[in-house]
Homo-oligomer: A and B are copies of this chain.
């Protein structure tokens, strides 16, 4: 029965598939933290945006640029970053594209509000 908690990021049939744009395809694995695996096509990027959830990320494969608070940071496999709540951010895939693990978590203050609608 424990298998319900085990997934394979490399199996494209697993997770909840969602195309954020034509350049960003994602699969969502939900838990108490939302974990999202995002694939960014070569030299493509998502829109710069922000939200109050904090969003640490880990670069699993490839390389690219993590744009955060107006600064582009070149990242490659093995890089880990914190994206604070409300920080503007986006990602530009490198020449070989990129696979990113995004982790969403709401700030403590939000969790302390009843019925805030942010429960993951």
Contact = CB atoms under 8 A, between A and B. Distances in A.
B105 A105 contact: yes
Contacts of A66: 6
A68 B32 contact: no
Q: Count copies of this chain in the complex.
A: 2
A2 B8 CA distance: 32
A35 interface: yes
Given A5-B83, A7-B79, A32-B107, 18 more contacts: A3-B73, A5-B68, A5-B81, A6-B73, A6-B81, A7-B80, A8-B79, A9-B79, A9-B80, A10-B78, A32-B56, A33-B33, A33-B54, A33-B103, A58-B101, A108-B111, A112-B112, A112-B114
Interface of A: 2-3, 5-10, 29, 31-33, 35, 37, 54, 56, 58, 60, 66, 68-69, 71, 73, 75, 78-84, 101, 103, 105, 107-108, 111-112, 114, 119
